[in-house]
Structure 1
Amino acid sequence: MAEEALDTIPAELLAPVGNLVIHVEDFPDEDTEREMELESPFDLLGLYRGVDLTRQSVADLRGGPDMIFLYRRPILDYWCETGEELPAIVRHVLIHEIGHHFGFSDDDMERIETME
């Protein structure tokens, strides 16, 4: 489903993404839960890990590719609670995390979404 969602994102948005790796896991790991100060592992649907484009430099030594994590169980729980279409939720979370890759904050993306 994540691959199908990725295929629906316009090529011009994905062109600068490069070697972004997408992982699907059941839940965030314990370190992520602590770092994000989550009350529950169901509180996080997705996460971007890496250096966003606004902070990347050709002089930087990169330790590995940037990654997006999609958390299956929290996404499914959200789907059950809201009744929204599951592919639309996955696509929304994926686009949100790609936005972090571009350096957008949660507030930036919320403003963009309200403009639609």
Structure 2
Amino acid sequence: MSREDFEDAVRDALDLIPPELAERMDDVVVLVEDEAPQDDPELLGLYEGVPLTERDGWWAAGSLPDRITVFRHPTLAVCSSVEEVVDEVAVTIVHEIAHHFGIDDERLAELGWD
């Protein structure tokens, strides 16, 4: 899958987010990178930032936007079809957005999103 097609899959996954949830996302950017960090090369996605549940008055002043990064090559490596890639990207986006809302991996596992 080309980078352009993968980026389209990420955009499509973002379009699946219910509007009432998307409106509550605050100061977050979604990026696509080819490779995951060297210390976790099989990572499919990563949230970096301050979850909404942990923000207070100091946070807004001069803070950079939160980042959700979806890693293309690791995702392609675990999928055997375009349909699987599309599904996996959607799951990854939901997972990382949940972190933006303060939901940790343990709770995501309880909800079936691990």
Amino acid aligned to 2:69: F
Q: 1:10-89, aligned counterparts within 5 Å?
A: 10-30=18-38, 33=39, 38=40, 41=41, 43-60=42-59, 61-80=61-80, 85-89=84-88
In the alignment, what sits opposite 1:108?
A: 107
- Partner Cα separation in structure 2 for residue 111 and residue 67 of structure 1: 24
- Partner Cα separation in structure 2 for residue 28 and residue 74 of structure 1: 7
TM-score in terms of structure 1 length: 0.80
In the alignment, what sits opposite 1:98?
A: 97
1:8 and 2:16 are equivalent in the alignment: yes
Return 5+ residue gaps in structure 2 as ranges: 1-8
Number of aligned residue pairs: give it.
104
**Identity of paired residues, percent?**
37
The structure where helix makes up a greater share of residues is 1
C-alpha root-mean-square deviation of aligned residues, in Å? Answer: 1.9
